[in-house]
Structure 1
Amino acid sequence: MLFHYHYWTPHVEETEKFYRENGFRISQRVGRYQGEFQEFNPPLEWNDFREKNILFRIIEARRGAVNITFGFGKKVMFDHIGYLVTPENHDRICKNARNMGWDVQVSERRTFIATPYSFRIELQTSKDAIDGITEEAELQKLTIVTKRNGLENDLSLLFGQPVSHIVSETGEMVAIKEAFIKGMPDVTDPNGVRIYKR
């Protein structure tokens, strides 16, 4: 199940505000402050730490079966998408990725697969990554801009079945062009992701 995407952005506070205003809750904030990674999780608000010059590594926004994360970057840059999978499917997908020559990094918390399309794929087996599977909020489809053709075919090989929830277009910069999220209005986030309800 597609559930997640991650961006690096100079618009960290604006991105959090955008998703909060569209029904997401902020579940965590982790940032580097005075040389150490620290948590600034809710109930803390931005007014509690805005003057502290924190470099946020990750802010996590959740709504139902959707998990969107972002962290500070000097420019807007799409990093990865994520799938919630069973342990059995996880192992099968990793085997397929290795057979395709794609790098696979497995850890206790999650697995990352490096694609030749300049973004990564996260595999998550823990249902704790989402607030719950609900028909009210789910990530149904993404349009991804890549610099090369073949993404849909490669994803079908990776997952061992046709993939209809990812559509690709070629362009100059790798990015998510459109996200179809059930339960959200038609809006554009501060990083240029156009969000449509389905």
Structure 2
Amino acid sequence: MLFHYHYWTPYLEETEKFYKKQGFKVHQRLGKYKGEFQSFNPPLDWDDFRSKVILFRIIEMKKGLVNITFGMGKRVKFDHIGFLLSKEEHDQVCLNAQALNWGVKITERRTFITTPYGFLIELQTHTDVIELEDRTFIKRLKILTKKKGLENDLEKLFGTPIESVASMGGEKVTIREAVIEGLPDRKTTDPNEVTLLNEVGI
């Protein structure tokens, strides 16, 4: 199940505020302050630490079956998408990635696969990355890539067509559209130029 995407961005506070308006909740803020990583999680808000020079590594937000993260970057950069799998599915996808000669980095918490399309794929087996209080979910991501063949390679990677990801040619690698069912707005664009669509009722 496609559940996640991550961006590096200079627009941290603006991105958090945007997704809050769409019903997402902040679950963690982790950043380096005075040389050490520290948590700035809720109930802390931006007014509590705005005056501090914090290099945020990750801000994590959740709504239903959707998990969105972002961290400090000098410019907007799409980093990865994430799939939630069983342990058996995870292990098979890793074998498939090796057959494709794609890099595989397995850690205790998650696995990253390096694709030739300019972004990573995260494999996640821990269900605490999502919440089940509502059924908000990512129906489809439209990803701009400079290289053709993403859909075919995803089918080889997962052993089945991945209908939740579509690609189109572009001058940069980014998410053009995220169709997310369960949002309050039918169409809106986040500070990183990702257009969010809710097709229900359209």
Task: Verify same fold: TM over 0.5.
Answer: yes
CA shift, 1:2, in A, is: 0.2
- Superposed counterparts of 1:187-198, under 5 Å: 187-198=188-199
- Superposed counterparts of 1:34-49, under 5 Å: 34-49=34-49
- 2:62 corresponds to 1:72: no
Other-structure match for 1:5: 5
- Distance, in Å, in 2 between the alignment partners of 1:65 and 1:9 is 23
Other-structure match for 1:88: 88
Structure 2 regions of 5+ residues with no counterpart?
none
Residue deviations 1:36-78 (CA, integer Å, cap 9, x gap): 1100000000000000011110000100000000000000000
Other-structure match for 2:179: 180
Other-structure match for 2:156: 157
- Identity, in percent, stands at 57
- Distance, in Å, in 1 between the alignment partners of 2:114 and 2:133 is 27
- Superposed counterparts of 1:60-139, under 5 Å: 60-132=60-132, 134-135=134-135, 137-139=136-138
CA shift, 1:131, in A, is: 1.2
CA shift, 1:34, in A, is: 0.4
RMSD of equivalent CA atoms? 0.8
Residue deviations 1:155-189 (CA, integer Å, cap 9, x gap): 00000011211110111110000000011121100
CA shift, 1:134, in A, is: 4.1
CA shift, 1:140, in A, is: 1.0
Residue deviations 1:134-160 (CA, integer Å, cap 9, x gap): 43x001100000011000000000000
Equivalent residues of 2:5, 2:81 under 8 A apart: yes
**How many residues are aligned here?**
197
Residue deviations 1:106-144 (CA, integer Å, cap 9, x gap): 011000000000100000000001112743x00110000
**Residue 125 to residue 188, structure 1, CA distance change in 2 (3 Å):** same
Task: Find the residue that maps to 1:6 and give its secondary structure.
Answer: strand
Structure 1 regions of 5+ residues with no counterpart?
none
Task: Find the residue that maps to 2:161 and give its secondary structure.
Answer: coil
Amino acid at match of 1:154: D
Equivalent residues of 2:63, 2:134 under 8 A apart: no
